[in-house]
Structure 1
């Protein structure tokens, strides 16, 4: 029996490039949520492929990691060359609140639980090569990097690894991008900076890596988180590369997320 009142899964006869689309209705969103999936071809007996969740940034939705970032193309190339082992690439929407939900729990909708609970459950119930044994990793860019770091640190029992690109690290940095006043988020939890969550879970964190472009307006916050993690003695990987807050950067560096996840779940 399904955990969701309604489900729509794309028809394989009309899918392309290994991409599938799944829509479920959930109380956490008080409506429907979309998930774009890359599902590799594997033998029927495989039922525990890991799930790598990629969170998008502001203005986007479930399609952008694939249709602007080519994440499924990169994943397929890495899998076919043997550089990473097969995995499901899950690219959910953020819930489509305003310019970006922040993947946070607002008073009326819980965009965090949509990602943490609903997305893995929907995939396990509808994609046959996954099961309760499927390990889950979380990554993302910009607002999605913020979501990955925050949710990964907050729910270490769910996620095996975290990878972020060009991440927002303080909730106040959302104001750089969104039209909505930050007060309109009506947050249930007042401490929503990445470091706040990490400090609450210092002894139980997933594996962490993150990177940022040297020309990115968010570089200062990423450097600060790196310094803070060092000061707490938390093992992590942080890298800086040439580039700014743009798709050309994320298209190139999403490979680092896939390689990192592969090394943590197999």
Structure 2
């Protein structure tokens, strides 16, 4: 699970090493050509992905003092993952590139990844 660059690393690990990291929870990843290529080559049967991105993530400050459009590449990644048949959840939410917009998705992401009955039985609250 990760947000921004952490989500990019999570996705890369899942796509390159699905037998070790077969699940990825992505909160607004920085999507690169390398990630798109990996998504096109990975075995969809081995990877489960939860993916959210904000509709206002069109001008995100980056660590190299630049500004990037995160929305457009995430929508392109969404098309690849959906078309290729990954076990996949996607949502575009109203919001920006901030934790306060990602936080409400944590419980839903964990429920998607884990057995819902086990999640509810063990009284895990998020």
Q: Provide TM-score, normalisation by structure 2.
A: 0.72
Selected match of 2:56 from 212, 215, 231: 215
Q: After the TM superposition, which residues 55-204 of structure 1 pair with which residues of structure 2 at under 5 Å, given as runs?
A: 139-170=1-32, 193-204=34-45
Pairwise CA distance, 1:209: 1.5
Alignment coverage as a number of residue pairs: 106
3-state SS, counterpart of residue 211 of structure 1: strand
3-state SS, counterpart of residue 23 of structure 2: strand
Please identify the structure whose Cα radius of gyration is greater: 1
Distance in 2, matches of 1:244 and 1:143, equals: 15
Query: Which residue does the alignment assign to 2:123?
Result: none
Pairwise CA distance, 1:240: 1.1
Cα contact 2:18–2:47 (8 A) shared by 1:
yes
Q: Structure 2: 5+ residue runs without aligned partners?
A: 59-69, 119-126
Query: Aligned-pair RMSD on alpha carbons?
Result: 2.0
Q: Provide TM-score, normalisation by structure 1.
A: 0.37
Q: Structure 1: 5+ residue runs without aligned partners?
A: 1-138, 172-192
Distance in 2, matches of 1:263 and 1:146, equals: 25
Q: Which runs of 4+ in 1 moved over 6 A?
A: none
3-state SS, counterpart of residue 87 of structure 2: coil
Distance in 1, matches of 2:114 and 2:87, equals: 18
3-state SS, counterpart of residue 115 of structure 2: helix
Query: Which residue does the alignment assign to 2:94?
Result: 242
